[in-house]
Every structure is written in C-alpha cells, then in structure tokens.
Amino acid sequence: MHSALRKIRLVIFDIDGTLTDGRIIINSDGTESRFFDVQDGAGIKFLQRAGIEVAFITGRNSKAVQKRAEELGVRHIIQGAVVKLEAYEKILEITGMKDEDVCVVGDDVLELPIMRRAAFSIAVANAVVEARNAADYVTERSGGRGAGREVAELILKAQDKWRDILKRYTDGGKQ
C-alpha cells in the first residue's frame, strides 16, 4: 500500500473539512472565519522543505484561505473550483507533475474524481463514508485537527525523510 507514497512529489489538499473541521463562521459583514491547525501548517512546511510540493483546491472563495496559503508558502491554490478535476489538471499542468506523482487528501464526494486519478488518495477521519471507502488510507486524526500533519508524516516517513526533518530540532536546536 505504501509503495506509491515513496514517489509522491505533490500533495493536493482540499480545505474545508480537510484542513479545517468543516465549520465555517459566516460573519455579519459577509466574511468567513475558519480554524486552521498549526500542526497541519508545520507539516505542510516540512513537506515543502523535503522538496514535496503542496497545493490547495477548494470549492469556496475566501481571502482567509488565500492568506493561509501565503503564510505557508503554498503557491498553487485554486479557489471556487466547482469541478475539482479541472483544477487538478490545471495544477498538474502548472507543476509539470503526473498522476503517479500526486497524493490527494479530501473529506467528501466532491474529491472522488481526483482521488481516483491520483496515485495515492487519503480521506480524513471525518470524511463521508464514500470518500473513506475510496481512499488508499484513512487518517486517524480529523480534518482541522491534525489530519494534515498525519499526512505529512506518513509521506515523509515512507520516503525516509522524516528523520532529517527532526534532526533540525533535535541537534541542539541548530538550524
């Protein structure tokens, strides 16, 4: 099951329900609020540091999501992606990646078409049953509650890169 993980060079995350717990606060001025998990954020940085690209595809439109992507140095983000397969193909085109390079992480049936295309698909613990059944792996942690971090560690460990990431923090704190 994990052999495909060794070749992953691009991880595409859904946002709502995957990197958040799925709840959206609609503020009275029409803006939206979400909770992101800092451990997920660190996991995304670790992936990038190990040379693995990260992209976001989301069906909604939000400035906060754009801001979060910028904070994390995620250059490839497609919002308002009604048809996720189109967004997926666009990201592959931009990055020059192929299906065998890609891991998709999602929580709902909207991600099923891209989960099928990617070499490795992951559903978060709180995903709908159809997404969990379709996935190559289901996380123990929930969306917005460490699932993103679990994905990062799973891939980095499969690629024997996790120890190098940790070294930075265990070698007397030297950068």
Residues 68-107 contacting Mg ion, CB under 5 A? 107
Shortest separation between residue 83's beta carbon and Mg ion, angstroms? 15
Kindly indicate which of the ranges 11-19, 24-32, 62-70, 149-157 contains the residues binding Mg ion, using the contact rule CB under 5 A. Answer: 11-19
Query: Does residue 16 touch Mg ion according to CB under 5 A?
Result: yes
Query: Does residue 21 touch Mg ion according to CB under 5 A?
Result: no
Neighbouring C-beta atoms of residue 25, cutoff 10 Å? 9
Question: CA-to-CA distance for 66 and 72, rounded, in angstroms?
Answer: 10
Q: Pick from 68, 108, 127, 142 the residue near Mg ion by CB under 5 A.
A: 108
CA angle, residues 120, 122, 125, in degrees to nearest 5? 165
Backbone angles phi, psi at 158, to 5 degrees: -60, -30
Query: Does residue 40 touch Mg ion according to CB under 5 A?
Result: no
Closer by beta carbon to Mg ion, 115 or else 152:
115
CA angle, residues 46, 51, 49, in degrees to nearest 5? 30
Query: Does residue 14 touch Mg ion according to CB under 5 A?
Result: yes
CA angle, residues 54, 55, 61, in degrees to nearest 5? 145
Q: In the complex, which residues of this chain contact Mg ion (CB under 5 A)? A: 14, 16-17, 107-108
